[in-house]
């Protein structure tokens, strides 16, 4: 799953908004939500997401920035794990991008790797160039 425009879901502290000011031909503006490119944006975002899902990370969920994976050892537990995950974003208003979600799959691409119940392997599209190198 993918968090939809994750950084932009985090409101800036009012006193920090002026630090993001920029000028255009139409006037002076500042960000009201966290923007890409801010020095600590990645760390702040990861800390917030980790705190929201603290009870699930490492157990039935893995998260890296805005990419999330809900996992279960047995299929019967998977719906319970998904319900737990979806309950929290609704309360914290974290929006998930439905176009980047896959449910009920036994293998999936996550962080550039193919993950299945048995193994983690490289994404074939990522290593194609290396496999096709002619011997020297």
Q: Residues 1-52: pLDDT tens digits?
A: 777 777 788 888 999 899 999 999 999 999 999 888 888 888 888 888 888 8
pTM reported for the whole predicted model:
0.68
| Structural contact between residues 109 and 123, judged by C-beta atoms closer than 8 angstroms | yes
Q: Residue for token digits 């699930």?
A: 56
Tokens of 64: 């890296």
Count helices and strands (H / E) in the chain.
4, 7
Q: Which of 35-39, 42-46, 115-119, 132-136 has the lowest mean pLDDT?
A: 115-119
For residue 121, give every residue at least 6 positions away whose Cβ sits within 8 Å of its Cβ, in sequence order, or none. Answer: 113, 114
b/e per residue 22-43 (b: at least 16 CB within 10 A)? eeeeeeeeebeebeeebeeeee
Closest-CA residue to 83 (of 74, 93, 96, 70): 70
Identify whether the C-beta of residue 34 lies closer than 8 Å to the C-beta of residue 44: yes
Find which of 25-34, 57-66, 94-103 is predicted with most confidence, using mean pLDDT. 25-34
Under 8 Å between Cβ of 3 and 48:
no
Q: Which two tokens stand for residue 128?
A: 């194609």
35 φ, ψ (degrees, to nearest 5):
-110, 155
């Amino acid at each position: 799953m993918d968090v939809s425009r994750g950084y932009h879901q985090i409101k800036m502290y009012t006193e920090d908004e002026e630090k993001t000011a920029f000028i255009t031909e139409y006037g002076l503006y500042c960000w009201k939500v966290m923007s890409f490119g801010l020095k600590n944006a990645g760390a702040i975002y990861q800390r917030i997401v980790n705190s929201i899902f603290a009870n699930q990370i490492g157990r039935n969920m893995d998260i890296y920035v805005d990419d999330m994976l809900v996992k279960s050892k047995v299929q019967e537990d998977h719906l319970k794990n998904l319900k737990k995950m979806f309950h929290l974003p609704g309360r914290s208003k974290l929006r998930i991008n439905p176009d980047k979600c896959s449910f009920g799959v036994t293998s999936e691409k996550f962080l550039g790797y193919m993950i299945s119940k048995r193994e983690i392997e490289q994404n074939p599209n990522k290593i194609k160039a290396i496999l096709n190198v002619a011997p020297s």
